[in-house]
C-alpha cells in the first residue's frame, strides 16, 4: 500500500497488484466489485481503480494512522486506552455485521486480522483488504472452498475442512478482540509459561479459572469498573471462538451483546 496525492490536494492510498497470472486479475476484480458497492463507516471506501497495463491499481481512502497491529505491538504500542480499544472492537463488529446481514448478499471476508484493520483520525476502525472475500448464497449454511487466510485467526472448520460460513469471520473477530485486549499476537507463545501456549489457549484457561484479568495488556491502567467491563468483552470474544459452529454467535448477535455493555464506558 502506497500513499499518493490526486489533483495536488487529495491524499489517497494506492494498492498495487502485479499481474503474473489470471488469478491475480480475478482477485482484483473480486475486490473491486465487492468494495465499490459497500458503504459503511467501518469499511474502507474504494475511490477508484485501474486495470490497464501490467499493474492493477486500487485507490482507497487514506488512513494516516495505519493498521491496528501498529498500535498493539508496533511503533505505537501502548498508545490506545481502553475506551479507544473498546470503540475499535465495537466498530469491527458493526462492519462485519453489515457485510454478513445488512448488505444485499452475504459477504464473508475470510481474512480478518489486526493487520487488515485500519485506524482513522478519530481512532475508528475500518476493515480493509477484501481480496479473499467470498459471497455466500442465501439458504446455504456454508460453502466448501480451498483454504485462504491467515493461520492463527482462522476457524478450525475452515482451516481443516474448507467449510466456509460467516461464522469463520466471527471466530477471527474473537481472536482479534483478544489481541486488542491483551496486546499479544495470537500466535505468540507466552514466555512466562513452560509449555507452549498461545493467546487463545491462555484466554480460555484464565477464563475457566476466573482469572480474566491476566489476559489484559499491562499497558492499560484500568479502574475497577473498566476491569469488569473488559471481563465481559473477553467472555464475548471467547463465545466467538467456540466450536462447533452452531453455538458460535452471528455478528449481528455479537453487536447486540457488545451494545449491552456500552454503559461501562462513555462513548462519543
Catalytic residues: 111
Long-range pairs of 22-31 with CB within 8 A, sequence gap ≥ 24: 24/56, 25/51, 25/56, 27/131, 27/132, 28/56, 28/58, 28/131, 30/130, 30/131, 30/133, 31/58, 31/129, 31/130, 31/131, 31/133
Query: Distance between CA atoms of 70 and 10, rounded to whole angstroms?
Result: 24
**Residue pair 198/187 in contact by the 8 Å Cβ criterion:** yes
Nearest to 44 by CA among 128, 130, 169, 131: 128
Q: Is the peptide bond before 118 cis (omega within 30 degrees of 0)?
A: no
Query: Distance between CA atoms of 211 and 185, rounded to whole angstroms?
Result: 20
CB atoms within 10 A of CB 206: 17
DSSP letter at 238 equals H
CB atoms within 10 A of CB 78: 13
CB atoms within 10 A of CB 197: 15
Bridge partners, 10 (sequence order): 6
CB atoms within 10 A of CB 147: 13
167: cell is: 461464522
Amino acid at each position: 500500500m502506497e500513499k499518493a496525492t490526486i489533483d495536488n490536494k487529495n491524499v489517497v492510498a494506492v494498492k498495487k497488484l502485479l499481474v503474473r497470472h489470471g488469478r491475480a486479475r480475478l482477485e482484483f476484480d473480486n475486490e473491486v466489485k465487492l468494495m465499490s458497492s459497500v458503504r459503511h463507516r467501518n469499511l474502507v471506501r474504494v475511490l477508484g481503480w485501474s486495470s490497464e497495463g501490467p499493474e492493477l491499481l486500487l485507490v482507497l481512502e487514506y488512513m494516516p494512522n495505519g493498521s491496528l497491529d501498529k498500535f498493539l505491538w508496533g511503533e505505537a504500542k501502548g498508545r490506545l486506552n481502553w475506551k479507544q480499544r473498546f470503540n475499535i472492537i465495537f466498530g469491527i463488529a458493526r462492519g462485519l455485521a453489515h457485510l454478513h446481514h445488512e448488505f444485499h448478499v452475504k459477504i464473508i471476508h475470510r481474512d480478518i486480522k489486526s493487520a487488515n484493520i485500519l485506524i482513522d483520525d478519530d481512532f475508528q476502525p475500518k476493515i480493509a483488504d477484501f481480496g479473499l472475500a467470498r459471497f455466500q448464497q442465501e439458504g446455504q449454511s456454508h460453502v466448501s472452498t480451498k483454504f485462504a487466510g491467515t493461520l492463527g485467526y482462522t476457524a478450525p472448520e475452515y482451516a481443516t475442512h474448507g467449510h466456509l460460513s460467516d461464522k469463520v469471520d466471527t471466530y477471527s473477530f474473537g481472536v482479534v478482540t483478544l489481541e486488542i485486549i491483551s496486546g499479544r499476537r495470537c500466535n505468540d507463545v507466552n514466555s512466562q509459561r513452560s509449555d507452549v501456549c498461545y493467546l487463545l489457549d491462555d484466554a480460555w484457561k484464565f477464563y475457566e479459572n476466573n482469572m480474566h484479568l491476566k489476559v489484559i495488556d499491562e499497558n492499560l491502567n484500568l479502574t475497577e469498573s473498566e476491569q469488569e467491563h473488559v471481563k465481559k468483552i473477553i467472555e464475548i470474544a471467547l463465545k466467538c471462538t467456540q466450536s462447533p459452529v452452531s453455538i458460535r454467535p452471528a455478528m449481528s448477535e455479537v453487536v447486540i451483546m457488545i451494545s449491552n455493555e456500552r454503559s461501562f464506558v462513555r462513548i462519543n
